[in-house]
Amino acid sequence: MGRYQCFQEGASMVTDSLSAVRDVLSFIASCDGRPSSSRRNNGSSRSKFGGRDGYTCPFCGRSGLDEDQLWRHGPMYHINEKNTDGLTCPICRETPRGPFQVHLHNAHGPPGRHEMASEFHMAESTLYSFALVVCHNRKLNSFLLVQEFANSGFWLPGGRIDSGENPAQAAIRETKEEAGIDIRLTGLLKLEYHPKRDRGGSQYVRMRFIFSAEPLDCDQPPKSIPDYESAGATWCRADQVASLPLRGPEPVTFFHHVASGKPIYPLDLVHMTSSSS
């Protein structure tokens, strides 16, 4: 009988680990008349443990459980119960909007006491997504650089992904706006996900898609008329880029990576759609 079939036949746990068996048997024994460590540490407060009788599992009717025992009993005995709405929590007597299992795990036990991460206590985080492009002109054996405003140096074409766009669309659009070059994306060099905090302490995430690309027309001239997007653009060989004033060091790394023929991930590594798809 396979593992999955065991669960289909009513099993709640399948293991060949002796340590796992010992752990579970120890927990079962603690529920048969012996309070858990949290109950010993906190006393027999009626408001926390429901008096001498403790709490009753709403799925199987098992009674006499303290908060931590019920918190662990739920998934251990009822892992195959479908998410159930409308159940009144025996601990706080609230009827949560969502599934009882989610409420029990996040509002009570160690997460409820902030001893473990709780989905209910997670701060909201804003996601800022960007697309950057490493465009290689094989005819010129050169790479595309955008000249930033205010003498900020040179940088890769790219920018923030607009609402409704996918990363590939943003990469193509930004390269045209900032560098005046029409491109075809050829692969994915890197995908970055960086959780950060702003100066006020709020959480946010910066996500960057760094694409490889080539110009549709190797003879198309880069942009030279300054506008809001950039001061212009130029082609630069990989062995020249380190001598230029750069906004950051990454063009050196990426240009040498592509020029030396190192691996580039296929575009279909990331499934991308737009809001119009």
pLDDT in tens, 58-96: 999 999 999 999 999 999 999 888 888 889 999 999 999
Assigned domain for 131 exists: yes
214 shares a domain with 137: yes
61 shares a domain with 25: yes
Confidence at residue 52, expressed as pLDDT on a 0 to 100 scale = 55
Assigned domain for 189 exists: yes
Pairing status of strand 126-137 against strand 203-215: parallel
Confidence at residue 51, expressed as pLDDT on a 0 to 100 scale = 46
Q: State how far the Cα of 132 lies from the Cα of 171, in Å rounded to an integer.
A: 6
Assigned domain for 275 exists: no
Assigned domain for 158 exists: yes
Assigned domain for 272 exists: no
Phi first, then psi, for residue 143 (nearest 5°) are -120, 155
Last residue of a domain, one of 77, 98, 121: 121
The pTM (predicted TM-score) of the whole model is 0.70
Last residue of a domain, one of 121, 142, 174: 121
Q: State how far the Cα of 214 lies from the Cα of 255, in Å rounded to an integer.
A: 13
190 shares a domain with 134: yes
207 shares a domain with 140: yes
- Using CA atoms, how far residue 179 sits from 156, 159, 254, in Å, is 9, 12, 18
Confidence at residue 277, expressed as pLDDT on a 0 to 100 scale = 57
Q: Which amino acid is at 254?
A: F
210 shares a domain with 137: yes
The domain tally of the chain equals 2
24 shares a domain with 135: no
Phi first, then psi, for residue 184 (nearest 5°) are -120, 125
Assigned domain for 218 exists: yes
87 shares a domain with 159: no
109 shares a domain with 228: no
103 shares a domain with 63: yes
110 shares a domain with 47: yes
Q: What angle do CA 37, 70, 104 make, to 5 degrees?
A: 115
Which residues of the chain register pLDDT less than 50?
Answer: 34-51
Assigned domain for 263 exists: yes
Assigned domain for 180 exists: yes
139 shares a domain with 90: no
Last residue of a domain, one of 68, 91, 121: 121
CATH number, residue 155: 3.90.79.10
17 shares a domain with 137: no
**Residue range(s) defining the domain that contains residue 240:** 126-267
pLDDT in tens, 115-126: 988 888 877 778
